[in-house]
């Protein structure tokens, strides 16, 4: 099984701190999607379009900095970072489909199904999810012991499936047009966004050879961060523009989506976001040996405008 190769990273836009780390990931990610991506050319093109579009790369940065925070070398976590970004890309492609959120724009450009057609949009998302686990298995080639690779696969599979990310999307769809209380919104956000961000920090800790307790509590921190992140997204959606946000603003209200500001009010939503962010920071500070760069990332996420 091959191991990750170090390469000098080319310049790439970065809206979050640690641009050098983001560029290093971007080079490795592009290599993975160029050298190891299977399938017919048109399908590969749709997968690359979906995965390599402009974005914050927040989830892979959480993996890499989670590894660093527990004392590991972030380089060893690169296959896991690719895996979570592919899962994230799959979820966005499917969320944007006409049967789901029916979005025409994502990150300032046409969504995958609008660019390649609905059928290839579905298939590109399916293939990205499968490719994620091929890449995650490459952790062993990066020096991560086999039992830890198995645990990483188990955690990402659970975070991606019916009980978490996909289940959260099902709950989200079922809630459209209904008045949902805060507990119902939390059930959606903690699954749809929180579970994958929890897996990001857990996978980084696994690659960094942290003990089981540290892996578990960093998963908790990531889940809190993910819930805060989604509340922030809800607030942005209600008060931004296409140019600033990169997708149509105001769509949540137009569709009657279950959002925390709608359920609790804007003031309470902002308060809950701050409490969740504070909780995530406290866990990371307590259970990490090198948390500085990860905490700087959390600070930037809390004040982002898109």
Instruction: Report if residue 5 sits inside a domain.
Output: no
| Length, in residues, of the chain | 306
Q: Which residues contact 153 (CB under 8 A, 6 or more apart)?
A: 133, 136, 137
Q: How far is 118 from 85, CA to CA, in rounded Å?
A: 21
User: How many domains in the chain?
Assistant: 1
Instruction: Report if residue 53 sits inside a domain.
Output: yes
Instruction: Report if residue 216 sits inside a domain.
Output: yes
Q: Strand 109-110 and strand 105-106: pairing?
A: antiparallel
pLDDT band at 55 (very low <50, low <70, confident <90, very high): confident
Instruction: Report if residue 78 sits inside a domain.
Output: yes
Q: pLDDT for 8-49, tens place per residue?
A: 333 343 458 889 999 999 999 999 999 998 889 999 999 999
Q: How far is 218 from 283, CA to CA, in rounded Å?
A: 7
CA 224, 225, 228, 234: dihedral to nearest 10 degrees? -120
Q: Do 273 and 234 form a contact (C-beta atoms < 8 A)?
A: no
Q: How far is 235 from 250, CA to CA, in rounded Å?
A: 10
Q: How many CB atoms lie within 10 A of CB 66?
A: 35
Neighbouring C-alpha atoms within 13 Å toward the C-beta of 98: 5
Tokens of 76: 């060893």
Q: Find tokens 């970065």 and name the residue.
A: 14
Q: pLDDT for 238-268, tens place per residue?
A: 754 445 545 455 566 556 788 999 999 999 9
Q: Which residues contact 279 (CB under 8 A, 6 or more apart)?
A: 221, 224
Neighbouring C-alpha atoms within 13 Å toward the C-beta of 146: 1
Q: Residue 109's beta-bridge partner residues? A: 106
- How far is CA 103 from each of CA 48, 112, 255, rounded to the nearest angstrom? 19, 10, 11
Instruction: Report if residue 9 sits inside a domain.
Output: no
5 compared with 157, residue with greater pLDDT: 157
6 compared with 209, residue with greater pLDDT: 209
Q: Do 28 and 17 form a contact (C-beta atoms < 8 A)?
A: no
Q: At 296, which helix (H) or strand (E)?
A: helix 292-302
Tokens of 275: 């409490």
Q: What is the pLDDT of residue 222?
A: 98
Q: How far is 134 from 136, CA to CA, in rounded Å?
A: 6
Q: What is the pLDDT of residue 107?
A: 81
Calculate helix-pair angle for 78-95, 195-207, nearest 10 degrees. 170
Which of helix, strand or coil describes residue 279?
helix
**Domain limits at 96?**
19-302
Which of helix, strand or coil describes residue 106?
strand
For all residues of the chain together, what is the average pLDDT?
90
pTM equals 0.90
Instruction: Report if residue 272 sits inside a domain.
Output: yes
Q: Find tokens 């523009």 and name the residue.
A: 241
The domain spanning residue 149 has which CATH number?
A: 1.10.600.10
Q: What is the pLDDT of residue 179?
A: 87
Instruction: Report if residue 223 sits inside a domain.
Output: yes
Q: Which residues contact 143 (CB under 8 A, 6 or more apart)?
A: 3, 76
- Above pLDDT 90, what percent of the chain? 78
Q: What is the pLDDT of residue 251?
A: 61
Nearest of 261, 262, 259, 281 to residue 271 by alpha carbon: 261
Q: How far is CA 287 from the centre of its chain?
A: 22
Nearest of 215, 256, 212, 210 to residue 237 by alpha carbon: 256
């Amino acid at each position: 099984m091959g191991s990750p190769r170090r390469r000098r990273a080319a310049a790439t836009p970065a809206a979050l701190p640690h641009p050098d780390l983001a560029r290093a990931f971007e080079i490795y990610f592009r290599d993975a999607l160029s050298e190891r991506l299977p399938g017919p050319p048109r399908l590969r093109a749709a997968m690359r379009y979906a995965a390599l579009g402009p974005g914050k790369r927040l989830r892979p940065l959480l993996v890499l900095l989670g590894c660093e925070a527990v004392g590991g070398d972030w380089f060893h976590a690169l296959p896991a970072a690719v895996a979570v970004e592919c899962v994230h890309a799959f979820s966005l492609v499917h969320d944007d489909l006409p049967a789901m959120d029916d979005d025409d724009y994502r990150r300032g450009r046409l969504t995958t199904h609008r660019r390649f057609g609905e059928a290839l949009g579905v298939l590109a998302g399916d293939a990205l999810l499968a490719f994620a686990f091929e890449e995650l298995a490459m952790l062993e080639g990066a020096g991560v012991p086999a039992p830890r690779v198995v645990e990483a696969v188990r955690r990402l599979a659970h975070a991606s499936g019916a009980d978490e990310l996909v289940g959260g999307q099902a709950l989200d769809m079922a809630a459209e047009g209904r008045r949902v209380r805060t507990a119902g919104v939390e059930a959606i956000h903690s699954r749809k966004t929180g579970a994958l961000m929890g897996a990001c920090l857990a996978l980084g800790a696994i690659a960094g050879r942290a003990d089981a307790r540290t892996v578990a509590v960093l998963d908790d921190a990531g889940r809190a961060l993910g819930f805060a992140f989604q509340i922030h997204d809800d607030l942005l959606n209600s008060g931004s523009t296409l140019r600033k946000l990169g997708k149509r603003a105001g769509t949540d209200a137009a569709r009657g989506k279950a959002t925390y500001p709608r359920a609790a009010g804007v003031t309470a939503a902002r308060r809950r976001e701050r409490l969740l962010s504070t909780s995530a920071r406290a866990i990371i500070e307590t259970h990490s040996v090198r948390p500085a760069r990860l905490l700087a990332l959390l600070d930037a996420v809390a004040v982002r405008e898109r």
